[in-house]
Amino acid sequence: MMLIRYLSQIGKYFLMLKEIFNKQTKWPVMKNLIFKEIDDLIIDSLGIVCFISFFIGGVVAIQTALNLTNPLIPKYLIGFATRQSVVLEFAPTFISVIMAGKMGSYITSSIGTMRVTEQIDALEVMGVNSVNYLVFPKIIALLMYPFVIGISMFLGIFGGWLACAYGGFSTGADFIMGAQKDFIPFHITYAFIKTLIFAMLLATIPSFHGYYMKGGALEVGKASTTSFVWTSVTIILLNYILTQLLLG
């Protein structure tokens, strides 16, 4: 019974994705909606992303340094390990799971509140495709999400460099040498491919849970929690699949 319910929800989700691109809202209206979503979803997330990235990068570098106790292991490996951890996994995946909480709960609660207060019904009565009006601007705004992840990568490595150089674990020059060593440009491409796919999930899964929720104000909170759980689970599952496909 539960399996049938899950399959029904997945089917409804894909039907919603199809509906997003039907009967587009007029461009002058859509343009304002897109700029509002960029401000709410991207610009408002920069502070928390910068803060977390800087300190996690520092922690990764310190943990690596503390585990390299053998004097035969070169110190530049701290920079190498920090770069690999931040670029391949921390920035694209860990930040996306955090954004599932921040962006996702905001999207679900805002659309869910519109559902509860019958604003979505009012849009439908006016002949507006409410799915396109509400979800499409979020998808377009989140095309800027790789920009946020790029900043996260830079600050993660910078935080690692500062922690190493000023914490006495190695010299700044050793760290930079490690960060440059055996660099594979495809790893950046891989990270941004993941980021764009995660951005689509961050825009659509919380929107789905907000749009199809039933009940009152209490259910809005429950829908936000459910959307965070499912967005996180989907991101982690897809992360595994994409890593196998692109790096395996």
22: which residues sit within 8 A by CB, 6+ positions away? 129, 132
Domain borders along the chain are 25-247
Q: Report pTM.
A: 0.89
The values of phi and psi at residue 30, to 5°, are -60, -40
Q: What is the pLDDT of residues 179-208, one digit of tens each?
A: 888 888 899 999 999 999 999 999 999 999
Cα–Cα distances in angstroms (integers) from residue 125 to residues 15, 26, 33, 35, 160, in the given order: 21, 17, 20, 25, 54
Q: What is the pLDDT of residues 120-177, one digit of tens each?
A: 888 888 888 888 888 999 999 999 999 999 999 999 999 999 988 888 777 878 888 8
> How much is the mean pLDDT over the chain?
89
Q: How far, in whole angstroms, is CA 9 from its chain's centroid?
A: 22
